[in-house]
């Protein structure tokens, strides 16, 4: 059974940096696939942030491109995201998600983590 | 970038009636090697993550009631809920995963 689990701080100060990790079980992120981050501000829709492939290729939403980086640790089967210059408007539930040969190329999602930006 | 245009924003339907949600991609999201549209539909209830209903536009996820159906025609996609039940009240999203994911704006489905 595929499981993705986000971890990280629930509170970030304005201008600070958000670092989130997505632990993956049931599939290997080293196998062909793409691993994504998505967020959802309170009461709003889903917004794709970016993704990283099993070989380390990255694509980012242009809205975040200057602030976001993604990475992965294949030995520990997790991938991560850093989002800099956090603002109150970045308050959201952050989801990790992905798809690959081990998921049958069907998207799979984590439960999400609420991150609040506040002083 | 691929843009997903979803309509309507909200929909009020009587119990037992049909709800129809539309989604249009700004370009083809058909993956040629397997001839499958890279589109998913989700149901989201408050405080929960999106729940996968359909992938490849019309393949129903295990456990999803068959009153839900997904269809496709070119770059137009439709989610239909027949015999609407109270538990179907939720927000529904379309999602293209062909390249650089994008989501529709969401459709709020409520009971009339």
Residue B101: exposed, middle, or buried by beta-carbon count in 10 A (0-12, 13-18, 19+)? buried
| Contact residues, chain A, for B102 at CB < 8 Å | 48
pLDDT band for A58, please (50, 70, 90 cuts).
Answer: very high
For A63-77, the pLDDT digits (tens) are: 997 899 999 999 999
Report the C-alpha gap between B62 and A89 in whole angstroms. Answer: 36
Are residues B59 and B35 in contact, defined by beta-carbon separation less than 8 angstroms? Answer: no
Are residues A7 and A113 in contact, defined by beta-carbon separation less than 8 angstroms? Answer: yes
User: Chains A and B: how many Cβ contacts under 8 Å?
Assistant: 41
Backbone angles phi, psi at A63, to 5 degrees: -65, -20
Are residues A37 and A94 in contact, defined by beta-carbon separation less than 8 angstroms? Answer: yes
What is the pLDDT tens value at each position of chain B, 112 positions in all?
Answer: 999 999 999 999 999 999 999 999 999 999 988 899 999 999 999 999 999 999 999 999 999 999 999 999 999 999 999 999 999 999 999 999 998 899 999 999 999 9
Interface of A with B (CB under 8 A): 36, 38, 45-48, 51, 59, 61-62, 95, 99, 106-107, 109-112
Mutant choice from B97, B98, B107 vs A, greatest count of A C-beta within 10 A: B97
Report the C-alpha gap between B61 and B11 in whole angstroms. Answer: 23
pLDDT recorded at residue B33? 87
Report the C-alpha gap between B10 and B90 in whole angstroms. Answer: 10
E-strand stretches of B38-106: 39-44, 51-55, 59-60, 68-73, 76-81, 90-96, 102-103
């Amino acid at each position: 059974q595929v499981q993705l689990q986000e971890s990280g701080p629930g509170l970030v100060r304005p201008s600070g940096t958000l670092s989130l990790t997505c632990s993956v079980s049931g599939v290997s992120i080293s196998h062909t696939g793409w691993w994504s981050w998505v967020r959802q501000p309170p009461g709003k829709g889903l917004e794709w942030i970016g993704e990283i492939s099993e070989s380390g290729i990255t694509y980012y939403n242009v809205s975040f491109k200057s602030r976001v980086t993604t990475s992965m640790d294949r030995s520990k089967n997790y991938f991560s995201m850093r989002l800099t210059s956090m603002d109150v408007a970045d308050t959201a539930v952050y989801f990790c998600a992905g798809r690959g040969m081990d998921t049958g190329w069907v998207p799979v999602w984590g439960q999400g983590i609420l991150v609040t930006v506040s002083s | 970038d691929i843009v997903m245009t979803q309509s309507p924003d909200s929909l009020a339907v009587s119990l037992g009636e049909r709800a129809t949600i539309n989604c249009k991609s700004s370009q083809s999201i058909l993956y040629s090697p397997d001839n499958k549209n890279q589109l998913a539909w989700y149901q989201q209830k408050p405080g929960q993550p999106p729940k996968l209903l359909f992938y490849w536009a019309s393949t129903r996820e295990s456990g999803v009631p068959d009153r839900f159906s997904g269809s496709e025609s070119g770059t137009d996609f439709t989610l239909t809920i027949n015999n609407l039940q109270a538990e179907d009240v939720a927000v529904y999203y379309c999602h293209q995963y062909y390249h650089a994911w994008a989501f529709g704006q969401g459709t709020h489905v409520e009971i009339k």
